Amino acid sequence: RKEVEQDPGPFNVPEGATVAFNCTYSNSASQSFFWYRQDCRKEPKLLMSVYSSGNEDGRFTAQLNRASQYISLLIRDSKLSDSATYLCVVMGSGGSYIPTFGRGTSLIVHP
Amino acid sequence: EPEVTQTPSHQVTQMGQEVILRCVPISNHLYFYWYRQILGQKVEFLVSFYNNEISEKSEIFDDQFSVERPDGSNFTLKIRSTKLEDSAMYFCASSDLGAGEKLFFGSGTQLSVL
C-alpha cells in the first residue's frame, strides 16, 4: 500500500461548484498533515495545514479523520484560478519525519 | 516575504557529467531539503539536512548524490555522474522548526540530461 494516496483526477468542474478531494495515508502514527497547491511546472505552495478539529480558510475547508486515516479538502465556490494540482502531504509516514507527498489531484475549473 | 532561491532555473548537461544545483534557504531556517519531481510524477524526497549533516535520505539519494552547506547561506546538491533518469525538476525547501512544520520551496531547477 502506498504511503500517501490520492485520486489523480482530473476533476473537471464549472465555476461556482463545490469540490472535495480525499487523501489516505498508511501510517496511523502520522502526526502532521498539509494541503499544498502546485501550478503547472511550479513549486508546491502551502495551502493549509490540517488540524484534528478541522479548519477553514475562506472557501477552503480541511478535515482530518484519524480513525479512517484520511484527510480531505473542500473547495466551495470554485474559481478559475483554483485550477491546479492539490498535493496531500503527510509527516511521520513510514516512521519518518520527512514530509511525504501524494501524487496530487488535478482540478480544472471551467467557465 | 523571505523566499528560497534556486539557481540555475534550467540546467542542461551531458550524461556522465557532474552538476551542482544551488539553493539559498530562508535565512533563519534550520532544516533544509532536496526533493525532485520527474515530469508527470509525484514530488519525491531526496535528502534532509540539519546542523551541518544529513538527517535523513531516501533510496534515490545514492552515492552519486551529495549535499553541502559550504557557507552560512548556500545549500548545494551535487550529482557526480548524471544519468538520463536524473532528468527532473529539483526543488530545494527549508523550514524553521523541522518536523511538523511547513516547507517553503524554491522555484526549482529543471535538469535535463542528454
How far CA B98 is from CA of A64, A75, A82, B88, in Å, comes to 21, 28, 29, 25
Which tens digit of pLDDT belongs to each residue from B39-93? 999 999 999 998 889 999 999 999 999 999 988 789 999 999 999 999 999 999 9
Distance from A101 to chain B by nearest Cα, in Å? Answer: 6
- Res. A17: pLDDT tops 60: yes
Cα dihedral B93, B34, B71, B64, rounded to 10, equals -170
Which residue on chain B is closest to A104 by alpha carbon? B42
Which tens digit of pLDDT belongs to each residue from A28-85? 888 889 999 999 989 999 999 998 888 999 999 999 999 999 999 999 999 999 999 9
Q: And the C-alpha cell for B18? A: 557532474
Instruction: Please tell me chain B's helix, strand, coil percentages from 3-state DSSP, rounded to the nearest 5.
Output: 5, 50, 45
Which tens digit of pLDDT belongs to each residue from A31-43? 889 999 999 989 9
- Residue A93 main-chain phi, psi, to 5 deg: -90, 135
A31-63: b (≥16 Cβ within 10 Å) or e: ebbbbbbbeeeebbeebbbbeeeeeeeeebbbb
Please give the pLDDT value at position A27: 85
Structure letter (DSSP) for residue B38: -
Q: And the C-alpha cell for B70? A: 559550504
List, as ranges, residues 19-58 from B with C-beta within 8 Å of A: 33, 35, 41-45, 48, 56, 58
Q: For residue B60, which of B42, B45, B50 has the smallest C-alpha distance?
A: B45
